[in-house]
Amino acid sequence: SFEPLLRSYQVGMQTGGIQYAMASASRLIIISFIAGRNLEEIDRDIKTFGGQMIEYKQFIMHRMIFPIKHAVLNLSTSSYDPSFLVRQVKEQKDELAQSSGKKHFVATSETYFFYGVVAYMFGEYALAAEMVEKRREVDAKVLRRPILYGMVAFYDALTFLAMARITSHYKWGVEVSSSISVLEKFIQGGNPNLENKVYLLKAEAKSLLDEKEDALVMYEMAIAAANNNAFIHEHAIASERLADFLFQNDDPRASHFYGEAHRLYLQWGALGKCEQLCKNLPI
């Protein structure tokens, strides 16, 4: 629920705790994206809260929502260009260089993370892997372990699996196992919202190992769990990954799941992703 953060923002504004209010607004925007809230709604919040951050001179908080702003822009508009994403990363890094201390490192780390997510969604796997590497370099400087509710481990592993398909290098498999372990620990700690992520990662791993029947079961479980949790973006990703799996195995059901992925991305508000998916359909 977004209600506690929204309430924290309101209390801060009412009591003069502007920095507290803007920090709550920043986390609200970030968690909204992570949870798969409609991109158009997130964009409205970015404009509203972002304007207030400028008005009250909360520039660090404003910079921290830049990656989400650009992620929403890239996903929701047509004509996605990977070179534009690279330029955005550089510009954001230059902006953050004006800051210092732990907040600077956190903002830089999250910048690389969210740009990596967008790169993965658009099939730019080498770029996504580069973002993971750069983020880890930043995190190592402050001995920081990024969590973001398990999303870092999830998208890192998706990126590693994609790179394993491309390069067949064993190192990616080791990284995937580590990420799945992180997510399973979260689940054991009482967070069921991560189950669909683990199912999808295991499906992708089974697919790589050519364990087709087990992979299919895991893909179906990932889709069902994402649907139950109302994670529309992850439902879309799982549908697209299943469609690719089915197409590679000459299964005619692939077209159905490509259609499902398109429908779900469209419902999420990711018009740019929809366009990219249509342009690159293998069928």
159-184 pLDDT tens trace:
999 999 998 777 777 889 889 999 99
Q: pLDDT tens digits for 193-251?
A: 999 999 999 999 999 999 999 999 999 999 999 999 999 999 999 999 999 999 999 99
In order of 28, 50, 89, 245, the CA distances from 208 in angstroms are 36, 43, 31, 10
> Under a CB-based contact definition with an 8 Å cutoff, are residues 40 and 53 in contact?
no
Q: Are 223 and 238 in contact (CB under 8 A)?
A: yes
Q: Taking residues 51-59, what's their average pLDDT?
A: 96
Q: Report how far residue 245's alpha carbon sits from residue 239's, in angstroms, rounded to the nearest whole number.
A: 10
- 272 in a domain, yes or no? yes
* Mean of the per-residue pLDDT values of the chain: 90
Of 235 and 82, the one with more pLDDT: 235
Residue 88 placed within a domain? no
Rounded CA-CA distance 182/51 in Å is 37
Q: What pLDDT is attached to residue 149?
A: 76
Tell me, yes or no, whether 280 lies in a domain: yes
Has residue 87 got a pLDDT over 80? Answer: no
pLDDT band of residue 109 (cuts 50, 70, 90) is: confident
Which of helix, strand or coil describes residue 139?
helix
Domain count for the chain:
1
Say if 219 falls within a structural domain.
yes
Which pLDDT value is given to residue 191?
85
Q: What is the CATH number of the domain that holds 233?
A: 1.25.40.10
Whether residue 11 lies inside any domain: the answer is no
Kindly state the average pLDDT of the residues 29-45: 96
Phi, psi of 80 (to 5 degrees): -60, 135
Rounded mean pLDDT of 42-58?
97
pTM to 2 decimals? 0.92
Residues 6+ apart with CB under 8 A from 211: none
Alpha helices per DSSP H over 77-188: 82-96, 102-121, 125-141, 151-167, 170-188
4 falls within a domain: no
CA distances from 151 to 18, 50, 99, 162, 250 (A): 28, 24, 25, 16, 32
Q: Is 169 left (phi over 0), alpha (psi -120 to 50) or beta?
A: beta
Contact yes or no for 42/32 (Cβ under 8 A): yes
Q: Which domain, by its residues, includes 270?
A: 147-283
pLDDT at 79: 66
Is residue 107 a part of any domain in this protein?
no
Would you place residue 141 in the very low, low, confident or very high pLDDT band (cuts 50, 70, 90)? Answer: confident
Q: What is the pLDDT of residue 80?
A: 64
Q: Which residue has the higher pLDDT, 131 or 85?
A: 131
Is residue 227 one of the residues assigned to a domain? yes
Q: Are 88 and 70 in contact (CB under 8 A)?
A: yes
Cα separation of 12 and 126, whole Å?
Answer: 42
Closest CA to 235 of 268, 207, 271: 268
The predicted pLDDT at position 93 comes to 61
